[in-house]
Structure 1
């Protein structure tokens, strides 16, 4: 019912808005030498993130030994990161290089939906990955039952669905407001908090709704992650094997590093009152978790994971063999 009402609000908002009233993205860079260098650096990070996440998805798909729940969830994380970075950086790059700063109502709505949906989906997916590690370490004999292919697929699908529901609701309500003035968004993409600063109407109720959504989408998964790793730490401490402890800590520390970077930045952006917001701070933090984090995720998991390194070497060897045969 909530989704149905949100869709109706979105349709009414779409009818009330005009397609000629584009928004202006002020961006984050100008054409000074320093900013040109920073822009080039962002493009380099985007390239690494794009290639790294595609490589992770393909490696996990091609290597049969990586067809396990943990790596399936990791492939979903890489897919989300890939889509997230492609939601913001290409448009920012086009605007910067072309000198145009406008974005249409449809484009702004699409960015909000994809951005919010992917952030929400990733929140729940990271909680699912923590639960997977908890089952693997604390209940290894029951792992094949508690995390079988069907349950794992259902958890991943639930993450995508819950994230999409959040995206539908937020884009429907955000575009239902009237926007006036210069319609200049002090950001490099259509972020909801930045967009609300342009509204001619009172958005306090919607801001409270966003805060409640953040409590659900951020704090609930954090609680699941904290509980899972508390049990994992206790189990690891009681392990007799030093090698087993080291392997468990190596696997879990990679995930905890990603969780810390992702949730810390997201909470900083979405769980502060509007009065405490600074456009510059919001843009810098947004760069961190929409561009840097998608690049770091595959590096963190691949550099500290022997199985991923083995799969990568295997693919390279097959490529060399194919070249020699040709």
Structure 2
């Protein structure tokens, strides 16, 4: 059997698009960047087999999509290829050709002098099992615990929790010396000063428009800034995963403000405005959020305080709770 693996040009041709999710399609069917100095953030490889097997010329049977992530540390630039998805037409084809495709992409990344290849997958389910089978025979892959993705939409279950959290905020607020304001990306001087301050003091860094690793932009309507005496001390920067799903993204408060009620206050404020306006929308018999149908939280177990909150409060009322694992191949 003759197997052909090729890097696909953007925009992705029509007959390859069956391997893409709707989110991937929105990126990969667009024309490529016109600026020669700009890195392509998404890359794709396709697998075909020859006509002797399929009987109809080359047969498209699989695709790997990866995201190239650029990072700068101590004035040193490095790149990581993060594999977003590996999809084949059938399980037998995946078992046979998956290792070849992954090996090809790893060798490509090595030839480009990139730092590593990364795969994130669920701990449970078919895709996670498939990824672990792909890398099982190669001891160069290292495993680390990943984040937890939590999705919520049932307002009848989430509503009582939100009310309890809002009451907890009021009890903690007391003589608060902080205020919550809408996110304003136009005040770039203030944000640049905060980014510089955060990096110098090893604190949380807000969304940085000059950071090429982001593939999203903040929602101005559903993001918040925390200030004290006119200075930024925290933020909740949200963005849309899809038209009807809002991710509560970068949540941060400076040390000393964690127990002030401010982190919960920002989260409650966004949830109330995004999902709990007057509506009669339903999905499978359950009332869902309006104007935004659902929300998404991503928790990192290493952030013990936030993860404890998410586990104790949101896990009982969520639609889905997905624990992820990271696999990395370092060069």
TM-score by structure 2 length?
A: 0.24
TM-score by structure 1 length?
A: 0.24
1 or 2, which has the higher helix percentage?
1
1 or 2, which has the higher strand percentage?
2
